[in-house]
Amino acid sequence: MSDLTKEEEHELAAVKAATLIESLPWLKRFSGKTVVVKFGGNAMVNDDLKRAFAEDMVYLRYAGLHPVVVHGGGPQISAALKEQGIESEFRGGYRVTTTEAITVVREVLAGEVNREIVDLMNEHGDGLAVGVSGDGGSLFTGEKKGVVVDGEHFDLGHVGDITHVDPSGVLAAIEAGRIPVVSSIAIDDAHPDQALNVNADAAAGALAIALGAAKLLMLTDVPGLYRNWPDRDSIIDLIAVEELRELLPSLESGMIPKMTACLDAVVGGVGGATIIDGRIPHSILLEVFTLRGAGTEVIPDPSRRTENQNTHAEVGRRVPESAADPGRHAADADTTQKGNEQ
């Protein structure tokens, strides 16, 4: 039996109905469209957040969208390497990946991490999700890269940049009504029998472009992008490409790969790219379907601001005051403007 009075039950039902109606303009905009989601940050290691993420992906699928997940696995890779007595070394923010280490990286990404994400989604229906390895079927092809630190060049081993994307396998999974879950591994173009460890942010952006995605969503561990970090009042809701280009060199090193991937994706034709606070349960649904967005959206040009503002105004007229949420982001006193590896 409910402890609520009849009046309270009616009020709660009204709020739930208002939330559903609030999603209508976004459902109209994104129904039938492909949305690429980079899964990373704390959401990858917290069991409750992992389950919430899986529920979000399944919800998107049943709401008529075509979600595609791209993941890394930095913490899991570090743990596996340590377990096998292989030291984790980083140069310029990149993991040095030896021939011995790349075998572990592939096993962790294409095996452990990918399988867990797929299994969590398939708890909601057998065959909903399917794993896709980045180096399977030539999805990602790349070339080795080095890095210069303090004027000295370092060989990163089996680490590379993506040079080509063949999305046919992912498109086939989408056509079959499944949710592709893609690991960030590429084939070495110069040595097709070898794999490359590629940045998951860059992989998500490249795949979003190849798929002609309507939206790219990047889960991370910060509320969004700040114009003047560490001023927490300077968080940005919407930023156009040209403004982001100007801001990029001043960002913290951990945010640069994420914002670069968003920038490249939008320039490459993706409708919009959003950095999302993955520490908030169901942050994907909050961003896609409600006024209570959970991050910073990169848009092609300032005129798109009007489109976004008009959609928000339309929704705002429909949402009763009792259901409105005046805060867009959850503040965290310990938040830093640092990114996460992979």
Q: How far apart are CA 67 and CA 129, in angstroms?
A: 10
Residues 109 and 132 sit within 8 Å (Cβ to Cβ): no
Query: In a 3-state reduction of DSSP, which class is residue 230?
Result: coil
- Closest residue by Cα to residue 223 from 74, 75, 41, 26: 41
Find out whether 42 is annotated in a ligand binding site.
Answer: no
Residues 196 and 188 sit within 8 Å (Cβ to Cβ): yes
Query: In a 3-state reduction of DSSP, which class is residue 262?
Result: helix
Determine if the peptide bond prior to 223 is cis (ω within 30°): no
Burial class (CB in 10 A: 0-12, 13-18, 19+), 171: middle
Residues 204 and 38 sit within 8 Å (Cβ to Cβ): yes
Residues 54 and 124 sit within 8 Å (Cβ to Cβ): yes
Q: How far apart are CA 70 and CA 60, in angstroms?
A: 15
- DSSP structure string for 90-102: EETTEE-B-HHHH
Give the relative orientation of helices 200-211 and 168-175 as an angle to the nearest 10 degrees.
70
Find out whether 32 is annotated in a ligand binding site.
Answer: no
CA dist 324 → 71, 96, 240, 328 (Å): 33, 47, 27, 11
Find out whether 95 is annotated in a ligand binding site.
Answer: yes
Backbone angles phi, psi at 164, to 5 degrees: -155, 145
Find out whether 197 is annotated in a ligand binding site.
Answer: yes
Q: How far apart are CA 282 and CA 90, in angstroms?
A: 32
Annotated binding site for substrate: 73-74, 95, 197
Binding residues: 73-74, 95, 197
